[in-house]
Amino acid sequence: MIWLLAGLAQAADLEQVRIFIGDDHARVLLLTDAPVNGASARTTPAKNGVPARGTVLLPETTLDNALMQAYARDGDRFTIPVGDGGVERVVLADLEGNVQVGVEMTASRELTVTPVGSSGLLLDLKAPGAIPDSSLPDAEMLEAWIDGVSLARKGEGVSKERRIVVIDAGHGGHDPGASGCTGTHEADIALQLSKKVAKELEKRLDVEVVLTRDTDVFIPLGDRAAIANAVDADLFVSIHANAAPGPTAWGITTFYMDTASDSGAARVARRENALVAESEMPMDALIAELSVAGTNRLSGDLAALVQTNVITELQGVYGEEQIRDLGVQTALFYVLVSTRMPAILYEASFLTHPEDEMRLRQPLFQEMSATGIVDGIEAYFQAQDQGG
Ligand SMILES: [Zn+2]
């Protein structure tokens, strides 16, 4: 079967691939930065050990750099593992100016391709005779999301001269966040630390810094991500202080977004998500799926660099016994869910641990933490510049 889709002639970049798995039905959204002219699609049954496939060819299209960095490379092919709902994996191939998207399946499926918005293509892969799965995001939802992306892309109109880093001080205003042993508010520590990070970033790196807040004011979680998307930020760093039910937990952690994978991470996510209205939650799952694939690995890289550098800086001053490295962890944080750039959430130490709390209040601890965070961001940009 072959479809030809009309569009405007213009070289395009394939920027994002989103995969949604339902019952006997999968949807794959391909998002390009410009309309693709003359995309064609076909299906091939399993044969001689080669799995059943749905293939879409995007002429005069290339793979976006960030997309290539996000997935495992094998020659000119990039693999997105799926292993769910009859879809084994999605393989992206850069064929000298044309992009081929292959969806490998456990059994043959019917493939239809529908344009979504001005620069999206929606692939529907349905088992023969299956009814469409209504739990999958529909074209209208995806179109709304794509429009948001386009808005962010158009953001300032012209290409940026400098990288933009958004520093997000957690909580604020009527939301003080966690409370420390002696009453320290997380919102205050987050703001103090964020300002130090912003100052050091501007001093040391050639970047534009945007603070989501620089006073004790309440900003809804959704607005924080929206700010980063609107300015087309390169990085989003949310700064918090941790808390636990008892006084024994202590140490420093950097999170990046993933589905909550252990109970500890799930707990932090619940606490930091506490101000999200129930009514917002069903949509979150969709946005999470939409957001996670493209920037996940880069967020993980950034988290690792920040965590390592902070621990090195702080242990250099305080000694290894006083600075506990809890490493990089993943969780599903609302504030990271809707950001469209690599994003991390830094938990500076535990306010519920007496010594951690004491250190969190010290200007020296805050300075050295800020230095470590900026070291990590600097190393991340250096790796980017070297194409790593
Ligand atoms: Zn917090």
Could you report the per-residue pLDDT of 297-355, keeping only the tens digit for each?
A: 788 899 999 999 999 999 999 999 999 999 998 776 666 666 778 889 999 999 999 99
> What pLDDT, on a 0 to 100 scale, did the predictor assign at position 271?
58
The 3 state secondary structure assigned to 231-275 is: CCCCEEEEEEEECCCCCCCCCEEEEEECCCCCHHHHHHHHHHCCC
Give 348 Cα–ligand 1 centroid separation in angstroms: 10
Alpha carbon of 113 to ligand 1 centroid (Å): 42
Mean local confidence (pLDDT), 242-255: 92
Cα–Cα distance measured from residue 169 to residue 191, given in angstroms and rounded to the nearest whole number: 5
Measure 306 CA to ligand 1 centroid, in angstroms.
Answer: 18
**The pLDDT of residue 58:** 94
- In whole angstroms, give the CA distance from residue 339 to residue 337: 6
**Residue 18 Cα to ligand 1 middle (Å):** 29
Helix residue ranges, H only, the chain? 65-70, 139-154, 186-204, 221-230, 263-272, 281-318, 334-337, 354-361, 363-385
The share of the chain scoring above pLDDT 90, in percent, equals 45
Query: Can you give the pLDDT at residue 97?
Result: 87
- How far, in Å, is the centroid of ligand 1 from the Cα of 271? 7
Give Cβ neighbours of residue 222 (< 8 Å, ≥ 6 apart).
Answer: 280, 334, 338
Distance, CA of 299 to CA of 255 (rounded, Å): 9
pLDDT tens per residue across span 57-90? 999 999 988 778 777 888 889 888 888 788 889 9
Assigned token pair, 213: 């807040």
Q: Ligand 1 centroid vs 54 CA: distance in angstroms?
A: 44
211 C-alpha to ligand 1 centroid (Å): 16
Interval between CA 230 and ligand 1 midpoint (Å): 23
pLDDT at 272 over 80: no
Average pLDDT, the chain: 82
Q: Which domains are seen in the chain, by residue range?
A: 3-132 (2.60.40.3500), 163-385 (3.40.630.40)
The end-to-end CA distance of the chain, in Å, is 40
Q: Give the phi and the psi of residue 221 in degrees, each rounded to 5.
A: -55, -40
Q: Is the pLDDT of residue 118 over 90?
A: no
* Predicted local distance difference test score (pLDDT) of residue 9: 45
Distance 168 CA to ligand 1 centre (A): 11
pLDDT confidence of residue 5: 42
